[in-house]
């Protein structure tokens, strides 16, 4: 069986594309809910006074929680996150890698900017598979890089 190439020059041209920034708020209720859902029991994730007593600015956001996007229907992004069309119907998360450069606490407001880092294809058991690698940078209100997230999406 011959497999045809699905990553065309037009699709490959999406590499490097950056999307409009999205604002994320680190809300104390969101921090507590995420911590509880993940099974964290350390009081720094729930109690502001305990977190501050231990040297943090506020309730600490657990690893993996970088807030919730601020939704404003009147301010829709001109360049929203959209991926290239591919002739593949199935989707799979190929993994996420996060790296932190500073603590994230309740009250923080982060700006996330996502770009397409790579698009490539490999043969799979059921046919061709496309891999789309996204990188999101999270910056605090002063523009400092707080965290990065690399996500690999698989289409097959």
Tell me the average pLDDT across 41-48. Answer: 98
Residue 105 has pLDDT above 60, yes or no: yes
pLDDT value at residue 110: 98
Rounded-to-integer distance, Cα 5 and Cα 8, Å: 7
Higher-pLDDT residue of 80 and 153 is 153
Domains of the chain, start order: 1-26+66-156 (3.10.129.10), 27-65 (no CATH)
Residue 151 has pLDDT above 60, yes or no: yes
Pick the range with the lowest mean pLDDT from 74-78, 94-98, 102-106, 137-141. Answer: 74-78
Residue 3 has pLDDT above 80, yes or no: no
| Helix, strand, coil shares, percent, the chain, to 5 | 15, 40, 45
Q: What angle do CA 148, 48, 28 make, to 5 degrees?
A: 55
Between β-strands 127-139 and 109-124, what pairing exists: parallel, antiparallel or unpaired? Answer: antiparallel
CB 139 within 8 A of CB 146: yes
pLDDT value at residue 80: 65
Radius of gyration of the chain (CA): 19
Tell me the average pLDDT across 55-60. Answer: 98
pTM for the full predicted model: 0.88
Beta bridge partners of residue 115, listed in sequence order:
18, 135
Helix (H) or strand (E) holding 53: helix 48-53
């Amino acid at each position: 069986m011959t497999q045809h190439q699905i990553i065309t020059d037009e699709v490959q041209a999406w590499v490097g594309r950056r999307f409009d920034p999205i604002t994320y708020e680190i809300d104390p209720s969101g921090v507590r809910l995420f911590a509880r859902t993940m099974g964290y029991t350390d009081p720094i994730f729930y109690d502001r006074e305990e977190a501050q007593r231990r040297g943090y600015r506020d309730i600490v956001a657990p690893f993996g929680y970088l807030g919730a996007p601020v939704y404003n229907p009147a301010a829709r992004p001109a360049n929203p996150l959209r991926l290239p069309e591919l002739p593949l119907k199935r989707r799979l998360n190929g993994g996420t890698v996060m790296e932190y450069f500073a603590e994230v606490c309740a009250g923080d407001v982060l700006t996330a900017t996502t770009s397409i880092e790579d698009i490539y294809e490999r043969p799979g058991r059921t046919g061709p598979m496309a891999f789309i690698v996204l990188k999101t940078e999270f910056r605090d209100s002063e523009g400092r890089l707080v965290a990065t997230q690399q996500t690999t999406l698989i289409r097959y």
